[in-house]
Amino acid sequence: MKKTFFLLFAFICIYNTGYSQTPDTLFNFTAYVGAGYSYDVTSFDYEYGSLNRGGFQGYVRVMWEPDYLLRGGLEFGYTSVYSIEENNIETSFGTTDLNTNVYAYPLMLVFSMSIIENWEVNFGTGFGFSVVKNEAFGENSFSSDAASTSMISTGYYWPVMKDSRLGGELRFTLLPKYDDYLISLAISFAYKFLEY
């Protein structure tokens, strides 16, 4: 009886191992390049009249896409956070013009799922290298710092050629270093450059 159970168990293990993955299963790497408009929805304690919340956003993402629901990859990008150009500001040191530009370089580990065909949902977390450039009293100052960042996005892609797709991506990005929250809309191009 024990021998029969052992043979049955061995047969099931061998059968499942042999047929758990079909030989035509493919793995591929896909590169995404996106560019669009980003808008900072953060509430500021004091808002200058020249506060510009909008700006450019761009990213490059490389995803490993196995024949599973969950995919993973890396993303590097640039996003404008906000800018200020204010003239004739009265300070205790005198009157000056103020030019401030804040932007970030996010580097994230991204996970993606395709809920239905051509529609993707992404979640990323990593570091955002925030940069602040100031010009006042004829002097320039520059500061940068790295802090955690995360994003969630959704995109829809239409096939345009055999290995490429074109679509749009809507995303929400959190840059907690300065409590900035960004919403962006981008045009994205995806190209499957390696398949094995």
Poorest-pLDDT segment among 54-58, 113-117, 120-124, 149-153: 113-117
pLDDT digits (tens, 9 = 90+) for 70-124: 999 999 999 999 998 888 777 777 787 888 899 999 999 999 999 888 999 999 9
Quote the pLDDT of residue 68. 80
Tell me: pLDDT of 175 over 70: yes
- Is 126:106 a contact under the CB 8 Å cutoff? yes
Question: For residue 186, what is the DSSP state?
Answer: E
As a whole number of angstroms, the distance between CA 46 and CA 16 comes to 64
Nearest to 40 by CA among 169, 172, 191, 155: 172
The mean predicted confidence, pLDDT, of the chain is: 86
SS3 54: strand
Tokens 């929805």: give the residue: 41
Query: Which residues does residue 75 pair with via DSSP β-bridges, in sequence order?
Result: 61, 108
Quote the pLDDT of residue 18. 44
DSSP string, 138-149: TEEEEEEEEEEE
Q: What is the mean pLDDT of residues 153-174?
A: 95
Tell me: pLDDT of 179 over 90: no
As a whole number of angstroms, the distance between CA 8 and CA 133 comes to 70
pLDDT digits (tens, 9 = 90+) for 24-33: 557 899 999 9
